[in-house]
Amino acid sequence: MTAEMYDADVYRSPEDVLLDAFLTLNTPEGFKAELVEGEIIVTPPPDGDHEGAIGRIVRQVFRLCDADITFAGNKGLIVPGGRFIPDGTFADEGAFDGQPSWMKPDRLLMVLEVTSSNPAKDRWDKRKGYAAAGIPLYLLVDRKAGQVVLHSHPEGGEYTATTSVPFGDPLPLPKPFGFDLATDGLS
């Protein structure tokens, strides 16, 4: 046992020690740190194509969706398996009001990830964490595979439905979004 695992003779699990270390990280400006399946992941600032894809999706949602929705970029979420920061989070209007930096995924409608330096984390670990948290939709712009993937219907820690289209084909988004997402220009 290490000294960090004891605080006034009270055992602290390795997971608690890791979480404490994660929460006290001093991440360089522009970088983001996430705790994914027991591993601290620090990613550099994204490239312009990454940010352009997010912007195209957000503009479509606000232009074509009739629901009262809000959006947050890089909102910290507490999910089973860690602390994730999706590239984008869509939620019911007011869902982010009064929330701390790291929030539970209540009233979320869809999370958005655009692959960059480590696409496997977005494809597998984050998908599992978002499903386990019960987030209804997970939209993945997979730039390496040249496709957009929508995971839906979380149940038992997995998404039970997946739809994917190659870049350029429309992707139907279910209610409350209720429109076909144009995927050209997302690469």
Digit-coded pLDDT (tens) for 25-48: 888 888 889 898 888 988 888 889
Residue 30 lies in a domain: no
Q: Is residue 28 part of a domain?
A: no
pLDDT in tens, 72-97: 998 999 999 899 999 999 999 999 99
Per the DSSP assignment, residues forming a β-bridge with 104 are none
Task: Read off the pLDDT band of 2 (50, 70, 90).
Answer: low
Residue 158 placed within a domain: yes
Q: Quick one: average pLDDT of 168-175?
A: 98
- Model pTM? 0.87
Task: Classify residue 36: in a domain, yes or no.
Answer: no
Inside any domain, residue 95: yes
* Residue 144 located in a structural domain: yes
Distances (CA, A) of 141 to 36, 45, 125, 138, 159: 19, 17, 15, 10, 16
| Residue 114 in domain | yes
Q: Is residue 177 part of a domain?
A: yes
Q: What residue numbers bound the domain in which 131 lies?
A: 46-181
All residues at 6 or more sequence positions from 116 whose CB lies less than 8 Å from its CB, including other chains: 43, 46, 47, 50, 143
Number of domains in the chain: 1
| 172 preceded by a cis bond (ω within 30 of 0) | no
Provide the mean pLDDT of the chain.
Answer: 92
Domain CATH code at residue 65: 3.90.1570.10
